[in-house]
Structure 1
Amino acid sequence: MMAPPFDPGALADAAAPLLGIPLTAESRAQAIVHLSIAAQQAELLLSAGIGDEDEPAPVYRP
């Protein structure tokens, strides 16, 4: 079964009252923009070919 497509407007409308955040038309539009960007970044991150057997680096060295 496929997951339904992500709807940032529905998420903003559902989450704002739960968080006690009043949404104006302008703030709702900005929330939708930021949620869309976050969804794109999550999709990119989740598409990385990392398996369960892959280990993180033991020490981070820039």
Structure 2
Amino acid sequence: MKNIVNLVWKLRIWKDTRGQDLIEYALMAGFVAVAAGAIMPNISASISTIFSKISSVMTQAAAS
């Protein structure tokens, strides 16, 4: 009986699609950002600067 309950629970989780839309939109936004960066060099430099700043802030936060 416990195996059947576990199987039903696993199938229910497998069919659960909540949050899937958010992931898809995030992936599309990432692809658009990469494409825009590849097409326009000025945007590429700006995006690189932003990610560098984020990286340094996160490194400082992790150190403290």
For the criterion TM > 0.5, the same-fold answer is no
TM band (smaller chain)? 0.3 to 0.5
Structure of higher CA gyration radius: 2
Tell me the TM-score normalized by structure 1. Answer: 0.45
Structure with greater contact order relative to length (CA < 8 Å, sep ≥ 6): 1
Tell me the TM-score normalized by structure 2. Answer: 0.43
Higher-helix-fraction structure: 2
